[in-house]
Structure 1
Amino acid sequence: MPPRWNIPPVTRILIGALIVQSVLSAAVRYRQWSAHSEIVVEWLTLIPQLSLFYPWTFVTSTLVENNIFTLSIAGLTLYHGGRYLERAWSSRELAKFLLVVSLVPNTLTFLALVSLFTFTRNERWTLTTIAGTIPLQISFLVAFSQLVPAHTVTLFRGVFSLRVPRFPLLYLGLVTVLSLTPLLTSASLFLAIFGFITSWTYLRFYKTVFPDLDSSQPTSMRGDASETFAFAEFFPGPIKPLVAAFSDQVFNFLVAMRICTPFSQADVSAASGNNFLQRNAPGGVRAEAERRRALALKALDQRLHAATAAPRTPPQAATQPRGSAVPTQQQPTTQTAMTSQPSTLLGETNYNPDHDSSDKGES
């Protein structure tokens, strides 16, 4: 199998389960199809009125799509997003993340539909099918916002440019529109909202992160106290202060209820200093690794230029003994590339946090 199809184990299981369960659900619905009734598979998808005797559906329903369009989108999302995050976090951390962002949004959506039935007495709410990878898709977008908060996606040759933390909100708008069509059920918007909140809460306060080997921080900590991953950062500039004020009030309430624990000054310092990383992340210690890579690339470029310019040196330089010249010229350069701590070379990579342009666009 070619290397580009090398899929990590958890992602492979995820895609396999999605295909098997979706095909099985389609086969059951096709076999029992009737023009006068809507076919549901209560032992595979979550239906508030029918699935209480099948508790596993609170998890399995996430990997069931009801049409070929959403199945194709889900397959591509799980392939690219799952493969990236599994290599960035490890298989164990990805499995824990997937379990949380599947079980919690499905449970909250279940309770929301039951509450709507209680207030409206409309039985349609309790017969709504809760299924699909929507919680996983928006959770992947939130995770990317944490890993690469400064990246900007540019499409159509610069006509459309959007920072990564804006994508979850854009996805919410898209789900809202599609939930009005037959492609998505009325439960889809609840799944998207609860998936967004659940994934951010887990990554912000509970996920285990690990320190840079060069730092003096403790062996591990939980959550991400960095300002770039604050809840208000997902919203446009004009409404950031309102969202920040509201989220602060909610957080203070959760702290008073002892549901959340406030970050210590050490946590904030560690997060702002980028001393912690996602284990096995591509490129290493997030921004720090990108800076080191930039330095190594610059050192390599200097060596290549020096090698190219070598024939232009005066003839007397060629009479020097080569056996002593090579080690004394190349070894310090290599050592410098591996040990120096750059401070301003980040702009030479694709990881450039364009603070000026982003601030102007949001203000």
Structure 2
Amino acid sequence: MPPRLNIPPVTRILLGVLLLQSVLSTAIRYRQWSAHSEIVVEWLTLVPQLSLFYPWTFVTTTLVENNIFTLAIAGVTLYHGGRYLERAWSSREFAKFLLVVSLIPNALCFLVLVAFFTVTRNERWTLTTVAGTIPLQISFLVAFSQLVPAHTVTLFRGVLSLRVPRFPLLYIGLVTILTLTPLLTSASFFLAVFGLVTSWTYLRFYKTIFPDLDSSQPTSMRGDASETFAFAEFFPGPVKPFVAAFTDQIFNVLVAMRICTPFSQADISAAQGNPFLQRSAPGGVRAEAERRRALALKVLDQRLHAATASPAGRSQPQVPVQPSGPTIQTQPQPNTQAAMTSQPTSILGETNYNPDHDHIHKGDS
């Protein structure tokens, strides 16, 4: 019996809608095709001049691919990337992310094409089809750059090694080249750029995050103030200072317009002190809570066992009950009292569970 594919619900819906809409769009264009006209489906894909009466196309057009090559790439990307991110964030947060990185890049691309038409008076701009999963694909790369910023991908048997934050710009370069072929339209470049900016802005400033269980941070923390997720990290080292200076000026403008809120010192300290705040593995928060609960129960069980197994501990109420009570029993009475009088803290240090607790924390880090 073949193994069952374990696909989270939102990813499953995403793949189903992508296949359904792409096949439907292809079938309609195939039936109406002619050598003298270009067929568009204005009620399913976004065409600036024709889709104004179909506002839902600002979302549905993202899950429409116009050829088998881009459909195959989209399917593989959404399957692997969607499964990982949905399990890492939860289905609700993943669905919100998909809506943001679909709607906003499509709307911005629509405005750019209309602006080009206004300047050039060339209807080709407003008849360009805005469609495809390009905003989702580059948004997944941005999300991976946040989750695993130090991860290095080795290609061609070690000939080329790249850190994950380098892939969004490489993807934009690949899309730019493919716009020169019939596979992608000229709108694809704008979709890639706006997808990068939108997804980074949402993850940097707005997405709800899960605080570390050891910290006292509120559960309503938003954004990621870590330096490893700064916008300049997407660029090569020599141009990082220039990009950082430019993005700082844009950020100041957005703060003045009250679109973005500057990070507080507490947010920066939390991001620096908790490097795994945003980068826990899928299900990591729940697994961490279960692990710590099991550890606390183990410590409590050991202390209760030591208390009930030590008669000396019950006969001397002034001696604190500790897991190493049998050690006190094996020593002569005068030496025991002298040790307790001179170094009470050393006995407590020997009997608590901190060494095992520290070992577990080192394993986590």
1:340 is matched with which residue?
359
Amino acid in structure 2 at the alignment position of 1:26: T
3-state SS, counterpart of residue 154 of structure 2: strand
What CA deviation, in whole Å up to 9, does each residue of 1:122-144 have, x standing for no partner? 00000000000000000000000
Question: Does the C-alpha gap of structure 1 residues 96 and 182 become closer, same or farther in structure 2, counting only changes over 3 Å?
Answer: same
Q: Which moved more, 1:236-245 or 1:216-225?
A: 216-225
Return the TM-score normalized by structure 1.
0.79
Shift of residue 164 of structure 1? 0.2
Amino acid in structure 2 at the alignment position of 1:166: R
What CA deviation, in whole Å up to 9, does each residue of 1:305-341 have, x standing for no partner? xxxxxxxxxxxxxxxxxxxxxxxxxxx9x99565536
Shift of residue 217 of structure 1? 1.6
1:87 is matched with which residue?
87
Shift of residue 274 of structure 1? 1.6
1:183 is matched with which residue?
183
3-state SS, counterpart of residue 217 of structure 2: coil
Q: Is residue 121 from structure 1 mapped to residue 90 from structure 2 by the alignment?
A: no
Shift of residue 220 of structure 1? 2.8
2:34 is matched with which residue?
34
| Cα contact 1:152–1:163 (8 A) shared by 2 | yes
3-state SS, counterpart of residue 158 of structure 2: coil
2:247 is matched with which residue?
247
Q: How many residues align?
A: 307
Question: Does the C-alpha gap of structure 1 residues 213 and 61 become closer, same or farther in structure 2, counting only changes over 3 Å?
Answer: same
Larger Rg computed on CA atoms: 2
- TM alignment of 1:98-113, pairs within 5 A: 98-113=98-113
Amino acid in structure 1 at the alignment position of 2:245: A
3-state SS, counterpart of residue 222 of structure 1: coil
Q: Which moved more, 1:275-284 or 1:207-216?
A: 275-284
| Cα contact 1:33–1:39 (8 A) shared by 2 | yes
Q: Distance in 2 between matches of 1:251 and 1:268?
A: 16
Question: Does the C-alpha gap of structure 1 residues 194 and 339 become closer, same or farther in structure 2, counting only changes over 3 Å?
Answer: same
| Cα contact 1:211–1:276 (8 A) shared by 2 | no
Question: Does the C-alpha gap of structure 1 residues 76 and 337 become closer, same or farther in structure 2, counting only changes over 3 Å?
Answer: farther
Q: Distance in 1 between matches of 2:59 and 2:357?
A: 46
Return the TM-score normalized by structure 2.
0.79
- TM alignment of 1:189-228, pairs within 5 A: 189-228=189-228
1:6 is matched with which residue?
6
Shift of residue 273 of structure 1? 1.3
Q: Distance in 2 between matches of 1:142 and 1:56?
A: 26
What CA deviation, in whole Å up to 9, does each residue of 1:262-299 have, x standing for no partner? 000000011111266349742726xxx8xx9xxxxxxx
- TM alignment of 1:146-295, pairs within 5 A: 146-274=146-274, 277-278=277-278, 281-282=281-282, 284=284
Question: Does the C-alpha gap of structure 1 residues 3 and 230 become closer, same or farther in structure 2, counting only changes over 3 Å?
Answer: farther
Question: Does the C-alpha gap of structure 1 residues 3 and 242 become closer, same or farther in structure 2, counting only changes over 3 Å?
Answer: farther
Q: Distance in 2 between matches of 1:63 and 1:152?
A: 30
Q: How much is the aligned-residue C-alpha RMSD, in angstroms?
A: 2.8
Structure 1: which 5+ residue stretches go unaligned?
293-331, 347-363
| Cα contact 1:89–1:278 (8 A) shared by 2 | no
Q: Distance in 2 between matches of 1:46 and 1:345?
A: 47
| Cα contact 1:89–1:281 (8 A) shared by 2 | no
Question: Does the C-alpha gap of structure 1 residues 19 and 270 become closer, same or farther in structure 2, counting only changes over 3 Å?
Answer: same
| Cα contact 1:101–1:139 (8 A) shared by 2 | yes
Q: Distance in 1 between matches of 2:141 and 2:76?
A: 14
Amino acid in structure 1 at the alignment position of 2:183: L
Shift of residue 192 of structure 1? 0.2
Shift of residue 161 of structure 1? 0.3
Question: Does the C-alpha gap of structure 1 residues 14 and 335 become closer, same or farther in structure 2, counting only changes over 3 Å?
Answer: farther
Q: Distance in 1 between matches of 2:258 and 2:169?
A: 29
Q: Distance in 1 between matches of 2:206 and 2:364?
A: 32
| Cα contact 2:147–2:279 (8 A) shared by 1 | no
Q: Distance in 2 between matches of 1:133 and 1:124?
A: 22
Structure 2: which 5+ residue stretches go unaligned?
292-350
Amino acid in structure 1 at the alignment position of 2:148: V
1:138 is matched with which residue?
138
Q: Distance in 1 between matches of 2:274 and 2:155?
A: 29
3-state SS, counterpart of residue 162 of structure 2: strand
Q: Is residue 55 from structure 1 mapped to residue 74 from structure 2 by the alignment?
A: no
Q: Distance in 2 between matches of 1:153 and 1:71?
A: 25
Question: Does the C-alpha gap of structure 1 residues 70 and 338 become closer, same or farther in structure 2, counting only changes over 3 Å?
Answer: farther
What CA deviation, in whole Å up to 9, does each residue of 1:19-42 have, x standing for no partner? 000000000000101011000000
Question: Does the C-alpha gap of structure 1 residues 337 and 238 become closer, same or farther in structure 2, counting only changes over 3 Å?
Answer: same
Q: Distance in 1 between matches of 2:283 and 2:235?
A: 28
Question: Does the C-alpha gap of structure 1 residues 20 and 344 become closer, same or farther in structure 2, counting only changes over 3 Å?
Answer: closer
